[in-house]
Structure 1
Amino acid sequence: MPESPAASTPYEVLGVAATVSDEELRRAYRRRLRVTHPDVGGSAVEFQAVQTAWERIGTPQNRAAYDGHRFADAEPHPTRTAGAGGRSGAGGGASGRATQSSGPKARMHGHPGGIARQHYLTLIKEWSGRGTTLADPYAPQLIRSAPREIRHTLAKALAEESTAQLISSLGIGYTAWHDVEAGHKGDKLDHVVLGPAGLFAIMSEDWGGPVELKRGELVGESLAGAKPIDALEDSARAFSRALRVKFTALIVVLPDAALNDVYTLPARGRRPILVVVPRSRLVGVLREGMLGMSRGSFEKVFELRSTLQNGIRLLD
């Protein structure tokens, strides 16, 4: 599976810059081993992470191979033609890529991952310094040396592109809008998907590490205090009020490696059911729904499509 740009690099695990000498790297490895060893009160998970990091960059050959490796699908792909009335379609994805089919694709509107791509390019140029010319903003060494919050914006773009690729495989009975304006302050919904199972608001994310659901919110070291479920609910609520529609479910889709299971939060008041799924389960949820979701009728889907097509605003 391709490496997530948001994941901790071996250099970060060892606590050194990517520019250190081989001898400095060796000293850092030995120091981290002593600190993280379970016999001296360290964490077994951190101890294993240190060993894995050393395996990846501990020799000059391995280090050169790691430093020269390009993140799979980090560079943008040409977009495909959108469905009727739409703009650019889905780009390629890093993981969870759908199998190509010769059958009709879902109607796709907007540019998945486009806003996140623009944000990444702005941040990486600002971080590189005024007057610096970046020959390749997706060069692997540049990505790995950037702060984690910048790498996360690229990981999010890749996640949105992967989700869009899966949605496009659902068939002509589905319509999807990407980078949708959700209300005020530039808030957005990554994807709005309409199909036989209902209307879904989807957030695509990749924080580069595992997460779990606790007390109604996703938590994990890689989230750095972010509250994604709160953000998704706020955006979905603003969208629903503006267009006077009701979502069947809210979905957070993450890389398979980030989740041990599917998490659900039952509907409460006007808030629809919320589901957190690994990417490999997304297509099944969009096709079949889940326990607690109310399935719409064909007539309702047809009416909703017209309402959404007339009311949705796509962000540039």
Structure 2
Amino acid sequence: MFDSPLSASAYDVLGVAPDADDEALRRAYRLRQRATHPDTGGDAAAFIQVQRAWELVGTPEARAAYDRGHGFGAAAPAEWSPWQAPRTPARDTRPRARSHGHPGGWRRERYLALIREWAGRGVELEDPYDPALVRSAPHAVRRLLADALAEEATARIVSDLGMGYTVWHDVEAMGRGGSQDDKLDHIVLGPSGLYGVLSEDFGGPVRVRRGELVGDGVGEPPIAGLLARMRVIARAAGVRFSGAIVVLPDEDVLDQVDELGRVRGMPVAVVARSALSTVLRRGITGVRDIGGNEVFDVRTRLQRVVRFV
């Protein structure tokens, strides 16, 4: 919770300064709890955020740990950078999904270039992922890092599905290259079907309205854009996608899995990150499984045309 570069801190959610005393913090929590409670006309998603914020800072022990982790305390360790690229894990001998491309790579590169330009006109920063630096950066810069982290999280989940799955990351879809609007975050192929996957982090609660995502942090229609990029890949490779999946942080959705039915002719599901593995194993409702020979044929066709941004 609140570990997104876009999300408000626990203190922001409660409406107090990070150095507020315990009594002021407690009063703020009670006020926000009453204001957001669904029984009194408040918003359910906002009420959940208030409860989670209190869990993080409601006791002295929890608050001290939170302050150290988010850079608010004077003794925050300099080496602590929650948004660094994942380190190479210890060797794991379990069979992994076949993986191609660099998940989140394009956005991380853009983030590093822009944060250095914004903070020091291109000079080297001691830590471009320092929490205080990240949270003070312009929204567009923080958004790049948030989406890179979202893509990396999806990649880790998909890799654990096993050798029956193949995934392509950061796939060029529109043919122009070098733009976040031209790429498909992930293509996942397995026994349950062929899926186009969008990994997003809007920094707050998201709802579905008329087959599209809406919320304070949502800009251009994400589902429409995902489907458009999938159509480009499908035509180029001569394949048919089984469905589209939008993956969001657990705290930003009310339902773990929200199947929208067909949107512009394509089955679409909005999925909490913790439920992604289950959805990819079972497939979206009504989508047929595909056999070994078909999986091989689809994989071969995609390998011939896939290019990475």
TM-score of the superposition, structure 1-length normalised?
0.76
Q: Pick closer, same or farther for the CA change 1:302–1:134 going to 2, 3 Å.
A: same
Corresponding letter in the other structure for 2:272: P
CA contact (8 A) 1:36 1:43 kept: no
Q: Pick closer, same or farther for the CA change 1:312–1:17 going to 2, 3 Å.
A: farther
* Correspondence for 1:197: 192
* Correspondence for 2:251: 257
Corresponding letter in the other structure for 1:274: V
Rounded to whole Å, the distance in 1 between the matches of 2:187 and 2:93 is 24
Match of 1:279 among 258, 270, 273: 273
What displacement does 1:101 show? 6.0
Rounded to whole Å, the distance in 1 between the matches of 2:284 and 2:293 is 21
Match of 1:144 among 121, 135, 148: 135
What displacement does 1:36 show? 10
What displacement does 1:10 show? 4.9
2:251 is aligned with 1:242: no
Rounded to whole Å, the distance in 1 between the matches of 2:96 and 2:28 is 54
Rounded to whole Å, the distance in 2 between the matches of 1:306 and 1:288 is 23
Rounded to whole Å, the distance in 2 between the matches of 1:183 and 1:308 is 15
Rounded to whole Å, the distance in 1 between the matches of 2:197 and 2:52 is 37
Where structure 1 has 5 or more consecutive residues not aligned to the other structure, the ranges are: 81-91, 93-99
Question: Any idea what SS the aligned residue of 1:154 has?
Answer: helix
What displacement does 1:255 show? 1.4
Identity among equivalent pairs (%): 43
CA contact (8 A) 1:5 1:71 kept: no
Rounded to whole Å, the distance in 2 between the matches of 1:15 and 1:149 is 24
CA contact (8 A) 1:160 1:190 kept: yes
CA contact (8 A) 1:13 1:50 kept: no
- Could you report, residue by residue, the CA deviation over 1:57-101 in whole angstroms, capped at 9, with x for unpaired residues? 9x9x859634237453x1113568xxxxxxxxxxx9xxxxxxx96
Question: Any idea what SS the aligned residue of 1:201 has?
Answer: strand
Corresponding letter in the other structure for 2:306: I
Match of 1:292 among 286, 291, 295: 286
What displacement does 1:268 show? 5.3
Corresponding letter in the other structure for 1:77: P
Match of 1:301 among 267, 271, 295: 295
CA contact (8 A) 1:248 1:293 kept: yes
CA contact (8 A) 2:2 2:10 kept: no
What displacement does 1:292 show? 1.7
Corresponding letter in the other structure for 1:314: F
Rounded to whole Å, the distance in 1 between the matches of 2:197 and 2:5 is 21
Q: How many residues align?
A: 288
* Correspondence for 2:216: 221
Rounded to whole Å, the distance in 2 between the matches of 1:180 and 1:168 is 17
TM-score of the superposition, structure 2-length normalised?
0.78
What displacement does 1:30 show? 9.3
Corresponding letter in the other structure for 2:86: H
2:173 is aligned with 1:164: no
Where structure 2 has 5 or more consecutive residues not aligned to the other structure, the ranges are: none
Q: Pick closer, same or farther for the CA change 1:132–1:286 going to 2, 3 Å.
A: same
Rounded to whole Å, the distance in 1 between the matches of 2:53 and 2:41 is 16
2:301 is aligned with 1:310: no
Corresponding letter in the other structure for 1:229: I
CA contact (8 A) 2:2 2:9 kept: no
* Correspondence for 2:225: 231
Q: Pick closer, same or farther for the CA change 1:148–1:36 going to 2, 3 Å.
A: farther
Q: Pick closer, same or farther for the CA change 1:197–1:49 going to 2, 3 Å.
A: closer
Q: Pick closer, same or farther for the CA change 1:50–1:124 going to 2, 3 Å.
A: farther
* Correspondence for 2:98: 107
CA contact (8 A) 1:209 1:221 kept: yes
What displacement does 1:13 show? 5.0
CA contact (8 A) 1:255 1:279 kept: yes
What displacement does 1:214 show? 0.8
Question: Any idea what SS the aligned residue of 1:170 has?
Answer: coil
Corresponding letter in the other structure for 2:84: E
Q: Pick closer, same or farther for the CA change 1:56–1:196 going to 2, 3 Å.
A: same
* Correspondence for 1:4: 4
